[in-house]
Chains A and B, each alone.
Chain A
Amino acid sequence: MSSPSTNDSAKADAQRFRDVFGAVRDQVARSIVGQTEIVDGVLTALFAGGHVLLEGVPGLGKTMLVRALSEAVDLDFRRIQFTPDMMPADIQGTNVLSEDASGGHSLQFQTGPLVSNLVLADEINRATPKTQSALLEAMQERQISVAGKTIQLQEPFCVMATQNPVEQEGTYPLPEAQLDRFLFKLVVDYPTETEVHEILERTTGSEQPEVQKATDGATILELRKTARDVAVPEHVRNYAVRLVIATQPGSPHAHPSVNEFCSLGSSPRGAQSLILAGKVRALLDGRFAVSTEDIRSIALPVLRHRVLINFRGQSEGVRADDLIQETLRHVSPESVVAG
């Protein structure tokens, strides 16, 4: 058996994780009323090293949430308002002709807003696929290749994109390759009546809430390492893998509704995201190993954008959330353990 000192160090790291996470959450909560699940989801993605796609109608505070988060974590923050005429060079950077002190001219690389720690890609589905694809390399490899050079992005790097489910005129839905790179897709819902009262109380008065710095980039990197140290039992890993395979049509574990209404299931990135987000959730719950309940609790935001509904499912109003819920009922931890 391990020594008590190792146990204590793990407990200390876990406690620190919870403290920092709570502090950032409290600061964000000063600006954002309610939406606790959304705030926890965004913070989970930040501490797990993933990216977040926020979907919701206008006016629900998606942009404000990301801005408040950037202030709370004290990271370099850039906002990109995506438009149809935006080109990849507009976000990655390009060579510009500059004049030096001697009067000569030279090409200098001007970095774009993507070179930052926290990037808010506002209304990302309004950009053309060409511009959207410029994010692919940055989101996965944490680097951008432009103008013959490769620029390593500074960690922590996190893309938080927003999109509007309505006003689909003139939008370009994100390709599956890019959707797969988001750890979470969080659906922002309307606030409750009490929360609306609180929003009015905070925003229509003379005093505006100020978000204080709660942590920094280095701490976040350390906490990311702590999260990755969380143990994953074999039966939990089996359950995550079985859950991902069950979303793939034609697989032996897929529910009949998945075979009928789903054209594309989750990739192995989905299983990676389940485990990573499950580790963060286990830490927040005061545990040192991921449980199957952690996997089940984060299955919806992790898998909903990785499941593509086919035409028949769309015509019958089937949503990805419905298929995932059906898969969760179909694949239980006990059935996985029992083989």
Chain B
Amino acid sequence: MDSHTESTGPMGLPDGSAEVGSTAVLDRIAARGQASRRGERLRRALPDLLAAAARWSLLLPASALVIELLRWASGARATDIEFGPALLLILVPVALLVVVGVLKLMRAADSRRANLLRVDRRLKLEDRMTTADEFSRLQTPTRFQAAALADAEQFTSRALSEALAAESAPASGRSRMAPVLTLAGAFLCVFAITWVSRQETELDEASVDVSFGSGGVVFGTRDAEPDPADEAEAPADLPAEDPTEAPERPDPIRDDSSTERIPPQLSESPPPLDQREKEAAGRTGSGRATQAEASASQSEARANSSNQQQSPQAAEQRETPQREPKDPKEPKAERPEEQPEPSQDESGASAGRGASRGSTSNPTNSPWESKDQVEAPDENEVENEDEVDDEDEEQDARGGVQPSLRDRKPPVNRDLQIGFGNQPNPDANGRGGPSEQKKSRGVASLVLGVPLPDRVRGQPNAGRIRITQERILPTAEVGSNRPGETRGSRSDETGRTAQRDFDPAALVLIRNYFLLRRRTGDS
């Protein structure tokens, strides 16, 4: 754009110019630089300008769309909007903003020195034009300044004729796509507004009245304003009966032609009585779309099937109160046949049994949190495989790292207390106590205050471990700059001490002090 040719005279100067010091030549070069700066500024600012205009253009359609949607949701009548005028709402602000921005950019003027420097840098003239512009104003230039002026004359033809290379400013794909996407969003908003308006208009036209027998039920748009005449006729047309009974009547005739354009939620009959009961129970999914109702009914069906699956258990639960409660305190005498052998129950030895679950009174079947395993009754009786499966699932849920849930047993009671007075300790079985700390037998048990941590097979430590993970973003420490100071020795040379802690006089004084203390025997 800047490649206009000039007829040059001697020394590369254009015809009619005496020297580069003449401001006319430099003015023309500066004008070229100004044009280049404006063009580049415009190229750089245009994407931002378009993006800003697109953002502003999106504001009005989006607001209108939100308003229309709110009106539609509240049942009010939608505004009739045409697509063409609405489209102007986008294009006019965009065009205005772009035109104003371009005019503002084009009117911005730069300094003469900046324009000359632009030419120098674009043509790689090593600031010759800028320097010449400064030195040409001097009254008595030095010899090197004069030489610089003469040197610049040789480059004026290039500065006037050679095209200024544009600086490549690669715009990112995101910045290029942003205005396009924003404008597309604005168009979509306008289209949505007009579509909503068109739907409302069609519904108005499709409003029909359908009567059923003697009692007429008016079908129409939900948003249609009530006609005062209809309101006046309504008591005459409609008998004073509960409108909820209307759907229970047989559906005599349905005008398909009139219901084709009626939305489903408007054409459906009032819900039957049992459905109203479900609505009262909150199980019908009322308020959802019809598809959602279908899915709700499916889920309800699944719930019924699951209830059927659980029915034997429920029946068993109903039978449970008829059984004798499993009271751990009393059943020993009443149910001696169910009482396991004491030697096996209280030993707690699991060797040879493993997961056989043969002993129902194994204290290791008691809950893990239980404190007293000895008195634990045989309430963890394994009666069916379902519980076993549950336990296995629980074990799997723990990650599968535990060797065996059956082995993760609390310790047996090893309380070594003698008892109170002449009464023996009923809990004493010589195998430990109810406390969580295991007590040793033999000599170790005579040592007071030597509790041993309870280490159970399958548990790698004395107790539970809670690992809390806190996710905290690292933050930089803010510190002030340290003022510069003279740096000392970075490290000492081998076998040489750069700085002693004490000077020789202090060392002698300290040595004498300790010698004196040694002589006096004062340690």
Contact = CB atoms under 8 A, between A and B. Distances in A.
Contacts of B481: 249-250, 262-263, 310
Contacts of A152: none
A235 B127 contact: yes
A10 B143 CA distance: 6
A249 B128 CA distance: 33
A339 B111 CA distance: 10
A250 to B, nearest CB: 8
A289 B144 contact: yes
B187 to A, nearest CB: 40
Given A2-B141, A6-B143, A288-B151, A231 B483 contact: no
A135 B348 CA distance: 89
A243 B489 CA distance: 32
A168 B490 contact: yes
A305 to B, nearest CB: 13
Given A176-B484, A229-B142, A235-B127, A7 B479 contact: no
A2 B135 CA distance: 11
Contacts of B483: 263
Given A176-B484, A337-B114, A338-B111, A170 B134 contact: no
B127 A233 contact: yes
Contacts of A236: 127, 131
Contacts of A2: 140-143, 145-146, 149
Contacts of B140: 2
Given A172-B489, A288-B151, A333-B117, A293 B143 contact: no
Interface string B476-491: 0001011110110111
Interface in B456-507: 479, 481-484, 486-487, 489-494
Nearest to A292: B127
Interface string B251-282: 00000000000000000000000000000000
Given A1-B19, A263-B484, A288 B110 contact: no
A283 to B, nearest CB: 9
Contacts of B147: 6-7, 10-11, 14, 288
A170 B492 contact: yes
Given A308-B484, A333-B121, A235 B135 contact: no
Interface in A242-268: 249-250, 262-264
A287 B126 contact: yes
Nearest to B113: A337
Contact of B144 (A170, A231, A293, A334): A231
Contacts of B489: 172
B126 A291 contact: yes
A6 B144 CA distance: 8
Interface string A4-33: 001101110010000000000000000000
Contacts of B120: 291
B134 to A, nearest CB: 5
B131 A291 contact: yes
B130 interface: yes
A190 interface: no
Contact of A169 (B118, B127, B149, B491): B491
A288 B145 contact: yes
Contacts of B146: 1-3, 6-7, 10
Contacts of A287: 126, 128, 148, 151
B150 interface: yes
A293 B123 CA distance: 13
A1 B18 CA distance: 11
A129 B479 CA distance: 29
A46 B121 CA distance: 30
A231 B111 contact: no
A7 B150 contact: yes
Given A231-B148, A287-B126, A311-B482, A1 B117 contact: no
B21 interface: yes
Contacts of A6: 143, 146-147
A176 B134 CA distance: 37
Nearest to B116: A337
A84 interface: yes
Nearest to A261: B481
A291 B120 CA distance: 10
Contacts, number: 127
Interface residues of B, number: 42
A175 interface: yes
Nearest to B126: A291
Interface in A323-339: 333-334, 337-339
Contacts of A263: 481-484
Contacts of B131: 231, 233, 236, 289, 291
Given A10-B146, A287-B148, A289-B144, A233 B134 contact: yes
B492 A264 contact: no
A1 to B, nearest CB: 6
A196 B135 CA distance: 48
Contacts of A338: 110-111, 114
Contacts of B149: 1-2
A289 B135 contact: yes
A173 interface: yes
A230 interface: yes
A205 to B, nearest CB: 40
A235 B126 contact: no
A303 B145 CA distance: 27
Contacts of B134: 233-235
A285 interface: yes
A171 interface: yes
A243 B224 CA distance: 74
Interface in A88-143: 129
A312 interface: yes
Contacts of A171: 490
A230 to B, nearest CB: 5
B414 to A, nearest CB: 57
Contacts of A175: 486-487
Interface string B132-174: 0011000011111111111100000000000000000000000
A337 B111 contact: yes
A167 to B, nearest CB: 11
A337 B147 CA distance: 23
A1 B21 contact: yes
A285 B126 contact: yes
B126 A334 contact: no
B127 A293 contact: yes
Interface string A169-183: 111110110000000
Contacts of B19: 1
Interface in B11-26: 19, 21
Given A176-B484, A289-B135, A170 B143 contact: no
B442 to A, nearest CB: 59
B364 to A, nearest CB: 56
Interface string B38-49: 000000000000
- Top 10 nearest A-B pairs (CB, nearest first) are A2-B146, A291-B127, A6-B143, A10-B147, A288-B147, A289-B148, A288-B148, A170-B493, A10-B143, A291-B126
8 contacts: A1-B19, A170-B494, A263-B484, A287-B126, A288-B147, A289-B128, A333-B117, A333-B121
Given A9-B143, A339-B111, 10 more contacts: A1-B19, A2-B141, A168-B490, A169-B493, A229-B142, A229-B143, A287-B128, A287-B148, A288-B144, A337-B111
